[in-house]
Amino acid sequence: MRIASVLQSSSIKQAQNIALDNNVSSIGLSLLHDIYANNYGWLVKLLNKKLSCQHSAADLAQETFLKLLHKNNHIGIIEPRAYLTTIAHGLMVSLIRRRELEKTYLAALANIPVAEQPSAEARLITLETLVQLDAMLDGMPPKVRKAYLLLQLEGLSYAEIANQLGVTSRSVTNYIAKAALHCAIFKQHLSN
């Protein structure tokens, strides 16, 4: 259900059901409606300036308000535009990163003979996996990420990684442990 229909709903019963489903109080739902009514157009214009695409801007604005709907404390929002801008910025960065990944992946596929290219379904699954890997790696501190990639992609030993990063082997052990923990937490988060 689009957030506009949720927040512009004239049915009190429907609004109450949505509030219950999302643990939103009637005061919170009223506040969300006001924030939406006063800021949706502004947010679409802001995003359109940055994305140069009205459709993407509208979609991202919808997604921003959906994220806001799932937040627990709406009453504490003092500056809605700043709050919305922060949420929208994170979503926009994710969208741009996804587009870049997709562009890079499609460019790599262009080098493969047509007869050997994966099916559309396999391409979509691969792209989704790449997006998830990118998000997982992005959440790691730089040295942890570098050590993890050197181990996983280049097959370097801990001593070789330590030499390349200019740290001790013990530091590399700690980096890899942090990376493994980060991956496990990320995987658990995906399954929830």
How many whole angstroms separate alpha carbon 129 and alpha carbon 173? 26
**Close Cβ partners of 179 (under 8 Å, ≥ 6 residues apart):** 140, 144, 145, 147, 148
Last residue of a domain, one of 43, 74, 97: 97
Q: What is the pLDDT of residue 30?
A: 78
Q: For residue 127, is it within any domain?
A: no
How many whole angstroms separate alpha carbon 95 and alpha carbon 42? 20
Residues 91 and 16 in one domain: yes
Q: What is the pLDDT of residue 133?
A: 87
Q: How many residues does the chain have?
A: 192
Last residue of a domain, one of 46, 73, 97: 97
CB 161 within 8 A of CB 150: yes
CB 157 within 8 A of CB 165: no
How many whole angstroms separate alpha carbon 50 and alpha carbon 47? 5
Q: For residue 103, is it within any domain?
A: no
Domain housing 150: 139-191
CA 169 to chain centre: 33
Instruction: For residue range 96-120, list pLDDT tens digits in order.
Output: 989 998 999 989 899 999 899 999 9
Q: What is the pLDDT of residue 25?
A: 58
Q: Domain count of the chain? A: 2
How many whole angstroms separate alpha carbon 62 and alpha carbon 55? 11
Sort 172 into a burial class: Cβ within 10 Å, 0-12 / 13-18 / 19+: buried
Residues 90 and 27 in one domain: yes
Tokens standing for residue 91 = 């979503």
Instruction: For residue range 11-42, list pLDDT tens digits in order.
Output: 444 445 555 555 555 556 778 888 899 999 99
Residues 7 and 92 in one domain: yes
Q: What is the pLDDT of residue 12?
A: 45
Q: For residue 112, is it within any domain?
A: no
Q: For residue 117, is it within any domain?
A: no
Torsion sign over Cα 105, 192, 90, 88: positive
Q: For residue 179, is it within any domain?
A: yes
Residues 150 and 69 in one domain: no
Residue written as token pair 């290219």: 117
Of 127, 101, 35, the closest CA to residue 74 belongs to 35
How many whole angstroms separate alpha carbon 167 and alpha carbon 151? 15
Instruction: For residue range 46-102, list pLDDT tens digits in order.
Output: 999 999 999 999 999 999 988 888 776 666 678 889 999 999 999 999 899 899 989
Q: What is the CATH number of the domain that holds 161?
A: 1.10.10.10
